[in-house]
Amino acid sequence: MKNQTQPFETREHDLTGSASMDFYDDTSVSLFDTVVPGLDTNRFEPVALKLYVSGSKPILTVYALDNEAPKSDSDSDETRVRKFKVPISWTKLFRFVKSLNLVVHNKKINMEDLIVDRK
């Protein structure tokens, strides 16, 4: 298995930022099972999602901890995960996702320091 560090696409883009997502009640496990049929959620604990969009078909990547993987002896802060990457339709995605909030900016400001004038 090839190991690699994930840059999570924050470099070399016009805008970068952050996002938050809410699921309908108890649908996150259903989403993972739909996206990755047969995923053993006792073994693999989904801990992160990545949504990539280029063109009309989004690609969803689920990052999951492997609860059966041997523990590392190193003192590293790195977290080893398994990646499950699949295409998904907007319709299928939003059967599970209640809301998605996305904010991107050009790095000239710190979004947490903004004071918004609503006049």
Domain annotation covers residue 49: yes
Domain annotation covers residue 113: no
Domain containing 23 equals 19-70+77-100
Q: How many CB atoms lie within 10 A of CB 79?
A: 10
Domain annotation covers residue 11: no
Domain annotation covers residue 55: yes
Query: By the 8 A CB rule, do 50 and 57 touch?
Result: no
- The CA angle 102-81-61, to the nearest 5 degrees, is 40
Domain annotation covers residue 31: yes
Domain annotation covers residue 66: yes
Domain annotation covers residue 44: yes
Domain annotation covers residue 106: no
Q: pLDDT-based confidence at 88, cuts 50/70/90?
A: very high
Go through 51-75 and write b for each residue having 16 or more CB atoms within 10 A of its CB, e for each that does not.
eeeeeeebebebbbbeeeeeeeeee
Quote the number of domains for the chain: 1
Cα–Cα distance measured from residue 101 to residue 103, given in angstroms and rounded to the nearest whole number: 7
Instruction: Say what the pLDDT of residue 101 is.
Output: 93
User: How high is the mean pLDDT of the chain?
Assistant: 82
Q: pLDDT-based confidence at 10, cuts 50/70/90?
A: low
Laid out side by side, the sheet with 44-52 consists of 44-52, 59-66, 82-87
Q: How many residues does the chain have?
A: 119
